[in-house]
Amino acid sequence: MVRKTLFIVLCWLSISLSAQEDLVKSDSLTWEPFYKAALKKAKKERKPVLIYFKGSDWCAPCKIIEKELFLAERFQKMANSSLILLEVDIPRDMTILSTDKLRDNLVVQKKYRVNSFPTLLFVNHRGRKIAEKKGYILTDYYYPFIEKVIRRY
């Protein structure tokens, strides 16, 4: 019985460690602070904008995406070379954001009618929607979606 339990624990650990091998220790992503700044940079660099809508103090799936997708080396390489990133946080406790950032986030949320969190929304430098993925899906399913957006842009 002990050997069987030990075997199961070792199998679980090896699966867990292999799933995390793609993670980097720190976030090397650059998130633009405001919507207009992101669009301006997108125009200059000829890249699409990935707008990440989240609820930092209440959305559990958002925390999973941040850990499993945004901290993955594969995503970070892709984002740093091909995307402009904008984080739009809609927390329950609105006081955790500056007044300017909160105002900007609420305007962007209203503009794109986002009410589902997390949402990944891609727009061009004019703010026109290119693609959208609402809700949480397994991390491996995000990559083909993101790569397709980048290829088509």
**CATH classification for the domain delimited by 23-152, as one of 3.40.190.10, 3.40.50.300, 3.40.30.10, 3.30.1520.10:** 3.40.30.10
Angle in degrees, 0-180, between the axes of helices 73-82 and 139-152, rounded to the nearest 10: 20
Distance in angstroms (rounded) separating the CA atoms of residues 15 and 93 = 37
pLDDT at 130: 97
Lowest pLDDT segment from 12-26, 41-55, 71-85, 126-140? 12-26
And the tokens for 45? 């660099």
pLDDT digits (tens, 9 = 90+) for 34-78: 999 999 999 999 999 999 999 999 999 999 999 999 999 999 999
pLDDT at 1: 54
